[in-house]
Amino acid sequence: MAMKAQLKFRKGFNPLLIQWGAPNQRRTEVCSYCEAQMDDDEVPLMMWNSAGWCAEFCESCQKKWLTT
């Protein structure tokens, strides 16, 4: 079952810079926003749009851009 969440980003975040992966593509090894290499032990934030495209955010971008 999919869980929906409302995410809020800090001022300065540019959603046009997100590099979305197509529904049939393999998972990325880099952050979809800053393109930093993600370590195997890192837990990326993964989100999908309604068309099935996926974006993964590294822990650094999560701390920098997401608000609580």
Q: What is the pLDDT of residue 2?
A: 65
Residue 9 belongs to some domain of the structure: no
Closest CA to 18 of 37, 2, 3, 31: 31
Total domain count for the chain? 1
Residue 10 belongs to some domain of the structure: no
State pLDDT tens for residues 57-67: 999 999 999 98
Q: What is the pLDDT of residue 1?
A: 61
**Which domain covers residue 47, as residue numbers?**
18-65
CB atoms within 10 A of CB 53: 16
State pLDDT tens for residues 10-33: 999 999 999 999 999 998 999 999
Residue 45 belongs to some domain of the structure: yes
Closest CA to 47 of 62, 67, 64: 62
- For 48, list phi and psi in degrees, rounded to 5: -125, 145
CA distance 58 to 63: 9
